[in-house]
Amino acid sequence: MSEGERAKTELVERVRVVEGDITLSEVDAIVNAANTTLLGGGGVDGAIHRAAGPGLLEECRALGGCPTGEARLTRGHKLRARFVIHTVGPVWKGGVEGEHELLERCYRASLSIAAMEGLGSIAFPAISTGAYGFPQVDAARIATSTVVAWVRARPLPETIQLVCFGQKSLGLHQEALLRAVRS
């Protein structure tokens, strides 16, 4: 097997696209697509807060919020994951206000926290694609290319899951991952 083939095999082993409920992910950390208050909301944010229990809200209150493109760490409370990394994705405004760069920063900031904490596994939702309206095709491309670039350069986290809600998101992320691995 050539060096290039070995590298691609390692990428496929470390980065996985799955369909499911992120709150059930058995990883060291799940990423919450949060709002700037970090105090819960709809979509994946609300689901994570409900599954984690009131301790998560209490811990988030102490953080004082989070700006778009950044990330914060809390314990997982009642979740299977030991930690929650909260990141605030951009609201889609037509792509003219730096939304692509902000979404990429969400993934990098979350991965950076996971690596600094020595976490071996992390699961991401499709950040900003729900109520924030980010186009799913662009979001899948940004998620996969950012994660693949990270994996090529760093040993941690060892396993990264992109957890998709629904077949459309799953297919878009699988296609985008194939393109990112080939490049």
Give Cα separations from 40 to 37, 65, 80, 88 (angstroms). Answer: 8, 11, 18, 12
CA distances from 24 to 11, 29, 41, 47 (A): 24, 11, 19, 11
Q: Which residues are catalytic?
A: 45
Q: Is 33 exposed, middle or buried (0-12, 13-18, 19+ CB in 10 A)?
A: buried
Phi, psi of 145 (to 5 degrees): -65, -35
Output the CA torsion 158→106→62→45 (10° steps): -90
Cα–Cα distance measured from residue 31 to residue 87, given in angstroms and rounded to the nearest whole number:
7
Bridge partners, 83 (sequence order): 29, 75
Radius of gyration of the chain (CA): 15
